[in-house]
Amino acid sequence: MSAEKSNHNTDDHVDTEIYNCLKLENPKSFFLFAGAGSGKTRSLVKVLTDFKTEYGKQLRLNRKKVAIITYTNAACDEIIHRLKYDPIFTVTTIHSYAWELIKNFNHDIKLWLKNNLANEIYKLEEEQSKSKNLLNKTSIDRTRKIESKNKRLDNLNNIQQFTYNPNGDNISKDSLNHSEVISIAANFIQNKPLMQDLLVCKFPIVLIDESQDTKKDLINAFFELQKNKKESFSLGLFGDTMQRIYVDGKENLELELPKDWIKPVKKMNHRSNKRIISLINSIRQSVDKQKQEPRNEKEEGFVRLFICKRGLDKQKTEVNVSQRMSEITGDFLWNNDINNANIKTLILEHHMAARRMGFLEFFEPLYKEDKLSTGVLDGTLAGANFFTKIILPIVNANEVGDKFAIARIVKKYSAYLNKNEILKNAQQIENIRKANMALLDLLVLWDDNADPLLIDVIKNVYKTELFPLPDSLLTIAKRTKSDLLEANKLENIEVEDEVSDDVIDAWDLALANSFSQIKHYNDYISEDSKFGTHQGVKGLEYERVMVILDDEESKGFLFSYDKLFGSKDLSPTDRKNIEEGKETANDRTRRLFYVACSRAKESLAIVAYTDNPEIVSKSAIEFGWFKKEEIVIIQ
């Protein structure tokens, strides 16, 4: 093999450095800089496989484990599979891991909640006392929040055991929400010696992926743990501070690492062609000087910036861009219409995708509600899953006449065909008849190509008792028809009398929309669409990427490409933050831009909508990001 084809082994020494940190007899902590496409997961699996050979038996005998914390369930599944399902490795998301740590400390959780709720109520009441008009929307909403928090505070003494579902809709009286679980875990790790002893005893090694986006309170807590237990505990952080895209991640993580930590760096980018790597290197050059190297055998690749005057027909413009990219690259897979699945289109924020794909009215009210936003983004929201996992598959199967698929779904989810019900009910035939009649009654809603409202779907299901409804939907279904208010015949449902008003308000708005929006929403979260958000594609890669920069359509306030490219002035807040050395919209946007561009493997098209094409073009050249011949202005 020639030298020109052998540089993919450049970072092999990093695996050795990491492995040496995991020696149980002499543990060290480390931060691994792993930029885009650096083969981080491959290194992790290799190191842990070698670790298992040397220390696996010792850990099993002492009932200890290695904790590997990743950002998504999909990443967990991939690592578990590659580690061959060995039980000495606990691979989990941060929310699941945090809950596992605290779930048996009910008394301590209750004390934390009492103190936290009292502080929140005090702050709200203080704000309310300063309000000049108690009848405006802000004051009315604040009153409702105070009432809700007081009600929850009063109810705490009645709770014997707290519950939490890291993948679900946590709105029952005894449940914790996602942010509370993280905050409680961080507080216990940082301040309770017993928690520190228990954690290190069970998990002498904790490895955290995407550490730059892990909530800063939790990272600080782990820093405190490591400082107190460094003789028996190894903390490994994997990440790239340039890829921090969530505002609650720890700023300047790399600058606050303890001096005795090991800081290995992976320099190789195995993913992208050479021109794409040079672009992302230049985007981050003014931030931290980290540079990646391409593999020798990679092609040069293609990058183009299409600057488009606002007001153009975006669909036609983006089709035009894909056709031009086909001509530039010689790759016919670029040359297709806007629905071309061979091109991954990355946009700024989720609601831009919702608007473009036709599920905005369903998505937006749920996304705005803090208690629901995480679930609606990652596809774990119980109310949404009722539609995507039960109703939508039935409707799709009915459209193609697949009666067997429908039967499987009804058998799996219907209360009528629940195994326990059938065993205790002698009238099994009658139950099957009821399920069939209920199913036919439901499917009538789609007769003659009708597109029923979501509220009508849950009313129907509640009326026929075909499927159990999630608590949030059940509450609405019960109160939407007066003659059903006293009916409570659905089996296997834990009915909650109190659900957050904000949650119900959000669902009321979402359910007022047509069922077809569920189809589009499901396409989006299941990666069946060509659209993805910058936030949602970290760790993923695509042959052809089109990045859409459009502040006007995204409606965001944390990011601004107009400001980044100089076509819009910085706000007074941005200028103040610069003076004080704080993070600005430009800093956040630059990182997001880096993440988006670094997804491309072979070719990359950036489509920037702006009122000032010439300014954007001039800035792109002055920054050293693009050459003049790589810029196309579309007026």
Strand partners, 93: 70
Query: Which one-letter DSSP state was computed for residue 52?
Result: H
Residues in CB range of 267: below 8 A, 6 or more apart: 10, 11, 38, 291, 292, 293
Residue 42 structure tokens: 């491959």
CA distance linking residue 593 with residue 4, whole number of Å? 31
Helix (H) / strand (E) element for 129: namely: helix 106-129
Please state, in angstroms and as integers, the Cα–Cα distance from residue 77 to each residue in 69, 73, 91, 214, 525, following that order: 12, 6, 8, 19, 17
- Is 239 annotated among the ligand-binding residues? no
Helix (H) / strand (E) element for 305: namely: strand 302-309
Closest-CA residue to 308 (of 594, 612, 534): 612
The CA-CA-CA angle for residues 565, 570, 573, to 5°, reads: 145
- Is 39 annotated among the ligand-binding residues? yes
- Is 35 annotated among the ligand-binding residues? yes
CA distance linking residue 632 with residue 613, whole number of Å? 10
User: What are φ and ψ of residue 105, in 5° steps?
Assistant: -100, 60
CA distance linking residue 608 with residue 586, whole number of Å? 16
Residue 362 structure tokens: 């369903």
Query: Which one-letter DSSP state was computed for residue 491?
Result: T
- Is 600 annotated among the ligand-binding residues? no
Q: Is 381 in contact with 365 (CB distance < 8 Å)? A: no
Q: Is 200 in contact with 66 (CB distance < 8 Å)? A: no
Helix (H) / strand (E) element for 283: namely: helix 274-288
Query: Which one-letter DSSP state was computed for residue 470?
Result: P
Helix (H) / strand (E) element for 344: namely: strand 344-347
Query: Which one-letter DSSP state was computed for residue 174?
Result: T
- Is 37 annotated among the ligand-binding residues? yes
Sign of the torsion formed by the C-alpha atoms of 349, 178, 48 and 251:
positive
Residue 174 structure tokens: 């005894």
Strand partners, 215: 249
Number of H helices, E strands in the chain: 28, 14
Given the structure tokens 């293609």, which residue do they identify?
A: 302
- Is 72 annotated among the ligand-binding residues? no
Helix (H) / strand (E) element for 198: namely: helix 193-202
Assign 180 to helix, strand or coil: helix
Q: Is 40 in contact with 271 (CB distance < 8 Å)? A: no
State the binding site: 34-41
| Binding-site positions for ATP | 34-41
